Amino acid sequence: MKLTGVELRRISLPLVSPFRTSFGTETTRDALLVRVVTTEAEGWGECVAMAAPLYSSEYADAAADVLRRFFVPALASVDHLTAVDVTPTLQKFHGHRMAKAALETAVLDAELRAEGRPLARELGAVHTQVPCGVSVGIMNSTEELLDAVGNYLDEGYLRIKLKIQPGWDIDPVAAVRNRFGDDILLQVDANTAYTVADTRHLARLDPYNLLLIEQPLPEDDILGHAQLAQHLKTPICLDESITSAQTAAAAITLKACSIINIKPGRVGGYLESRRIHDLCQSHNIPVWCGGMLETGLGRAANLALAALPNFTLPGDTSASSRYYQTDITPPFTLTNGHLPVPTTPGIGIDPLEAELAEVTTHTEWLKL
């Protein structure tokens, strides 16, 4: 293929309810979409960077800038472009993995559409449906939390993840266990909100039989996680710390975690995600697919990834209605706690023209 043009599209999609974590509260998904046009086909990618650099150092405006000024011109110079060319072509540019992931996904989507191959099959999927969990944000009260968890369980979600932070951790977990019992799959996510000094406090979560505690310490504190793991019975899962197969290998070697959350945007794309999956599988480290409030475009691709064999824990690939009243694609609907893996070529889904236009705030065409 040869790249002939790229569209950068900004959208603002209201969430059905505010989503609060230890680093902030979101009420809308301010997203950057990437559409590539090649000599063979078109493809879509979704950049998961937030509007502000809160989850990571990346943010949507910076992603658009680096795509416009550096990444797209670099790919335009490649005469026989395939998805595997994206990473080596952009390797000289440091960081900006979320922007790289969006561009790689769009190129991969176009390539697979041209060849009539689904992304799931390309990555090595072995399942036709994926078990789904749901991420529950920090609430204003315990009763509000219990109502939300009860509603999600009624909808059929197979696993509950509670966002936690200092001052909102032990009591909410205890309340959920007391109300819903020990049989529900329950885990917590700290989004880097604690330090090693909180070890004794975090150990108070051990009696609640959690699947895992996700990213309790800052992302660059791999050694701290290794130390923490020696004192907790609750398995440690790394999220923000895992930015590549190389960092995953280091974390595994140091015994900083026993589970890994793979987010394609965070690690630079679905091809690197597959490498991390394979690495973890070879070391008997289970993985699951995290979420970043993706629209149906990102959700479809995540489902393809989550259908690989070592994704043995329910991920955050929730139904479209978890976040959006109206998505920009046909909605993904939960059935018996599962979502179907797309089977048509590429990422397996297209945006709905009217719905996409309704939430679009800006478009920019990069003619090459």
Fold of 121-340: TIM Barrel (3.20.20)
Type of residue numbered 169:
D
Strand order in the sheet with 133-136: 133-136, 159-163, 185-189, 213-214, 236-238, 259-262, 287-289
Token pair in block for residue 221: 């504190």
Distance, in Å, from the CA atom of 203 to the CA atom of 206, rounded to the nearest integer, reads 5
Return d(Cα 103, Cα 71) in angstroms, integer. Answer: 8
Domain assignments of the chain as residue spans, ordered by start: 3-116+352-367, 121-340
Active site (annotated) includes residue 161: no
Q: Per residue in 291-334, pLDDT tens? A: 999 999 999 999 999 999 999 999 999 999 999 999 999 999 99
Q: What is the mean pLDDT of residues 13-31?
A: 89
Contacts of 199 by beta carbon, 8 Å cutoff, 6+ apart: 227, 228, 231, 232
State the pLDDT confidence band at 367, using cuts at 50, 70 and 90: confident
Mean of per-residue pLDDT scores for the chain? 96
Selecting among 163, 233, 255, 367, the annotated active-site residue is 163
The 3-state DSSP class for residue 58 equals: coil
Taking the C-alpha atoms of residue 125 and residue 4, their distance in angstroms, rounded to an integer, is 31
Give pLDDT, residue 164: 97
263 is catalytic: yes
The closest alpha carbon to 311, from 279, 289, 278, 340, belongs to 289
* 3-116+352-367 homologous superfamily: Enolase-like, N-terminal domain (3.30.390.10)
Same fold, 3-116+352-367 and 121-340: no
What are the tens digits of pLDDT across the range 235-248? 999 999 999 999 99
The confidence band for 23, taking pLDDT boundaries of 50, 70 and 90, is confident
Instruction: State the DSSP code for 320.
Output: G
Distance of CA 232 to the CA centre of its chain: 26
DSSP state, residue 6 = E
- Rounded CA-CA distance 38/355 in Å is 24
Closest Cα to residue 259, out of 352, 161, 166?
161
- pLDDT-derived band of residue 133, with 50, 70 and 90 as boundaries? very high
213: part of which helix (H) or strand (E)?
Answer: strand 213-214
Cβ-based neighbours of 4, under 8 Å, separated by 6 or more: 37, 38, 39, 368
Options 92, 161, 263, 367, the catalytic residue: 263
